[in-house]
Amino acid sequence: MSKINLDTHFNDPIKEWTARKHLLITRYVVPAAMMMKSIRGKREVALIDGFAGPNSYDGEVKGSTVIMVEAAKNVIEKGASATVYACEEDSDRYKVLTTVLADAIRDGILIAYNSKHHAKVGEIQKSMGSKPAIVFLDPQCPSELTLAGDLKPWTERKSTDILGVFMGGGACRACAQGVLNGQDKEKMEASLGENWRTATTLEAAYEVYESAIGPLKRHFGLYRLRKQEPKTDAYGIFGLSDSPNAMALLSDAVAKDWGVLMQIDASKTTPSLFDFLPEELGEQDSFTSLLEFSRPILKTQRQIKGRELAHAIFAGENGKKAFGQYQWSDYTKAANHVRDEFEKEMAVSN
């Protein structure tokens, strides 16, 4: 991306789907920071924004680093400690970032680096020590986010949740170019793994990325989000964690984003989660609806069952709102029933 486009980006008003992405990040990062600060009783947390950007849209201070700074302030107000680390390679964007967040830098809440994220991971991890951490990775293009340099240093670390953005459309186009004429093939292998050559369609790109990053933490989820107009995927949002609580937060945040779009699409003001499902599900029974709703979790977290699976499916405001308030024993029975049906489907398809 050229410098001119970068300048235009932070001088333009915020786009509707970027604003929704910021809301989704807020719904995850703010409560996650409050939970993470209490791990092992240390009452401290680190927040890392690997691809920070300028955090300015048409003069309005908005962005992922701003969200992390506000989350850090909330933690500090509760008597704990929090530090935000932000990386931005482009000098112009870095200048804007450090200007709009000068107060946070002065107060010691934010440490900013004019550097690629992977080049500073070691320094950041040394600075933060053993603090629990939340990492957000939102690259400008798919090849910027590498498995070895940007993801694995965090997935190999304990008490670390990773939230990130996957640009499936950009990835499949780059992979197609790599297969056809050799362009960017090294970059795509670094970003998608050894199976990148099969990721030449949108569906295949998501499948390849799931297989590449899914095993890196105990719990994983990858959800597709879309722009309001046109009605196509804007990006995928993924989460990696050792805790099912993080996946519950991510699922809840995604469900709320789907709800915003469904309200726009159907001109509704009070949709339930059943309204977020594909339209044809409206004529099917509730168990089928539950199976479809649970499929992303069942697909990516094949190893969990029982209470842990029930928590991943039903925990959070929207899960209970959609399926009703019951005892956890009932949620667990339903989760196991859905899991058994899903395994039968997988056995038939194989």
Domains, the chain, with CATH or none: 3-269 (3.40.50.150)
Helices of type H across 143-232: 152-155, 168-181, 185-192, 202-213
On whether the CB atoms of residues 267 and 37 are closer than 8 A, the answer is: no
pLDDT value, residue 6: 42
Structure tokens at 38: 């209490």
Distance CA(186)–CA(11), nearest Å, equals 33
The letter for the amino acid at 15 is: K
pLDDT value, residue 287: 65
Please state the pTM of the whole predicted model: 0.72
Q: Coil, strand, or helix at residue 224?
A: strand
Q: Coil, strand, or helix at residue 309?
A: helix
Distance CA(221)–CA(234), nearest Å, equals 17
pLDDT value, residue 37: 76
pLDDT value, residue 101: 97
Mean pLDDT of successive 10-residue stretches along the chain, which has 350 residues: 40 68 91 81 90 89 95 93 97 96 97 98 96 95 95 95 93 89 84 94 92 94 76 81 88 78 48 38 55 78 79 66 62 79 79
Q: Coil, strand, or helix at residue 72?
A: helix
pLDDT value, residue 128: 95
User: In Å, what is the CA distance from 160 to each residue of 39, 84, 129, 326?
Assistant: 11, 14, 12, 31
Bridge-based pairing of strands 110-113 and 133-137 is unpaired
Distance CA(278)–CA(40), nearest Å, equals 42
On whether the CB atoms of residues 249 and 161 are closer than 8 A, the answer is: no
Helix (H) or strand (E) holding 60: strand 60-61
Distance CA(338)–CA(166), nearest Å, equals 28
Longest dimension (CA), the chain: 60
